[in-house]
Amino acid sequence: AQSVSQHNHHVILSEAASLELGCNYSYGGTVNLFWYVQYPGQHLQLLLKYFSGDPLVKGIKGFEAEFIKSKFSFNLRKPSVQWSDTAEYFCAVNSRGRGGSQGNLIFGKGTKLSVKP
Partner 1 sequence: DTGVSQNPRHKITKRGQNVTFRCDPISEHNRLYWYRQTLGQGPEFLTYFQNEAQLEKSRLLSDRFSAERPKGSFSTLEIQRTEQGDSAMYLCASSLGTGDTQYFGPGTRLTVL
Interface characters, 43-82, with partner 1 (x: CB under 8 A) = xxxx--x-x-------------------------------
Among 23, 63, 108, 115, binds partner 1 (CB under 8 A): 108
Among 50, 63, 74, 90, binds partner 1 (CB under 8 A): 90
Closest contact distance (angstroms) between CB of 15 and partner 1 is 26
Among 80, 84, 104, 114, binds partner 1 (CB under 8 A): 104
DSSP one-letter string for the chain: --EEEES-SEEEEETT--EEE-EEEE-SSEEEEEEEEE-TTS--EEEEEE-SS-SEEE-GGG-EEEEEGGGTEEEEEESS--GGG-EEEEEEEEEEETTEE-S--EE---EEEEEE-
Examine residue 40 and tell whether it contacts partner 1 (CB under 8 A).
Answer: no
Which residue, among 90, 66, 62, has the nearest Cα to 78 in the 3D structure? 62
Positions touching partner 1 (CB under 8 A) are 4, 32, 34, 36, 42-46, 49, 51, 90, 92, 94, 96, 100-101, 103-110
